Structure 1
Amino acid sequence: MKAVVLTKPTKAEAIVLSEVEVPTVKPGWVLVKIKAFGLNHSEQVLREFEIENDYINKPIIPGIECVGEIADPSDSGLKIGQKVVALMGGMGRSFGGSYAEYALLPVHHVFPVESNLSWTEMGAIPETYFTAWGSLFQCLRLTPDDKLLIRGATCALGYVAIQLAKALGCKVVGTTHKDDKLSLLEQAGCDERILDDGTIKGKVSGVTKALELVGIKTLRDTMFALDEGAVVCNTGVLGKVYEWNGFDPIKDIPNGVYLTGFFSNYPKQKMIQDIFSFMDEHHLKPLIGATYDFEHIKDACIALDSGKVNGKIVVEV
Structure 2
Amino acid sequence: MTDLMRAVVIREFGGPEKLELATIERPRPRPGEVLIRVHAFGLNRSEYHFRSGVAESGVLPRVPGIEATGIVEDAPGTDFRPGQQVVTMMGGMGRSFDGGYAEYVTVPHAQVIPFRSALEWSTLGAIPEMLQTAWGSLSTGVQANEGDSILIRGGTSSVGLAIAALAVIRGMRVFSTTRNPDRFQHLRDLGVEHPLLENGEVAAQVREIAPDGVDGAVELVGATTLRDTLRAVRTGGTACFTGMLADDWIIPEFYPIAWLPNGVRLTAYSGEANDLPQNVLQDFIDAVERGDARVPIGHVYQMDEIAQAHTDMESGRYVGKLVTVPWSGSDLS
What amino acid maps onto 2:111 in structure 1?
Answer: H
CA contact (8 A) 2:112 2:273 kept: no
**Residue 246 of structure 1 aligns with which residue?**
253
TM-score normalized by the length of structure 1:
0.93
Further displaced range: 136-145 or 157-166: 136-145
Q: What pairs up with 1:165-176 in 2 under 5 angstroms?
A: 165-176=167-178
**Residue 33 of structure 1 aligns with which residue?**
37
Question: 2 CA distance for matches of 1:121 and 1:176?
Answer: 24
Question: 2 CA distance for matches of 1:272 and 1:8?
Answer: 36
Q: What pairs up with 1:178-189 in 2 under 5 angstroms?
A: 178-189=180-191
Once the 2 structures are TM-superposed, how far is the Cα of residue 131 of structure 1 from its aligned partner? 0.3
CA contact (8 A) 2:242 2:268 kept: yes
Gaps of 5+ in 1: none
**Residue 311 of structure 1 aligns with which residue?**
320
Number of residue-to-residue matches in the alignment:
314
RMSD: 1.8
Query: Does residue 1:214 correspond to 2:221, yes or no?
Result: yes
Query: Deviation per CA, 1:92-113, whole angstroms, max 9, x where unpaired?
Result: 0000001111111111111122
**Residue 234 of structure 1 aligns with which residue?**
241
**Residue 293 of structure 2 aligns with which residue?**
284
**Residue 268 of structure 1 aligns with which residue?**
274
**Residue 7 of structure 1 aligns with which residue?**
11
Query: Deviation per CA, 1:73-129, whole angstroms, max 9, x where unpaired?
Result: 021221111111100000000000011111111111111223332222110100011
Show structure 1 runs of 4+ deviating over 6 A: none
Once the 2 structures are TM-superposed, how far is the Cα of residue 3 of structure 1 from its aligned partner? 0.7
CA contact (8 A) 2:10 2:18 kept: no
**Residue 78 of structure 1 aligns with which residue?**
80
Distance 1:4 1:276, change over 3 A: same
Further displaced range: 190-199 or 268-277: 268-277
CA contact (8 A) 2:42 2:322 kept: yes
Q: What pairs up with 1:82-161 in 2 under 5 angstroms?
A: 82-161=84-163
2:24 to 7, 20, 27: 20
Query: Deviation per CA, 1:270-306, whole angstroms, max 9, x where unpaired?
Result: 6143132134246323221111122322222222122
Query: Deviation per CA, 1:147-197, whole angstroms, max 9, x where unpaired?
Result: 111111011111111111112111111111223333332333221122121
CA contact (8 A) 2:174 2:192 kept: yes
CA contact (8 A) 2:161 2:320 kept: yes
| Structure 1 residue matching 2:227: 3-state secondary structure | helix
CA contact (8 A) 1:70 1:81 kept: yes
CA contact (8 A) 1:176 1:182 kept: yes
**Residue 195 of structure 1 aligns with which residue?**
197
**Once the two structures are aligned, what percentage of the paired residues are identical?**
38
| Structure 1 residue matching 2:283: 3-state secondary structure | helix
Gaps of 5+ in 2: 327-333
Further displaced range: 280-289 or 29-38: 280-289
Question: 1 CA distance for matches of 2:275 and 2:87?
Answer: 10
Question: 2 CA distance for matches of 1:102 and 1:151?
Answer: 35
**Residue 204 of structure 1 aligns with which residue?**
206
Question: 1 CA distance for matches of 2:69 and 2:284?
Answer: 18
| Structure 2 residue matching 1:50: 3-state secondary structure | coil
**Residue 42 of structure 1 aligns with which residue?**
46
Question: 1 CA distance for matches of 2:129 and 2:320?
Answer: 13
CA contact (8 A) 1:148 1:172 kept: yes
Once the 2 structures are TM-superposed, how far is the Cα of residue 232 of structure 1 from its aligned partner? 0.7
Distance 1:57 1:14, change over 3 A: closer
CA contact (8 A) 1:216 1:242 kept: yes
CA contact (8 A) 2:237 2:265 kept: yes
Distance 1:100 1:137, change over 3 A: same
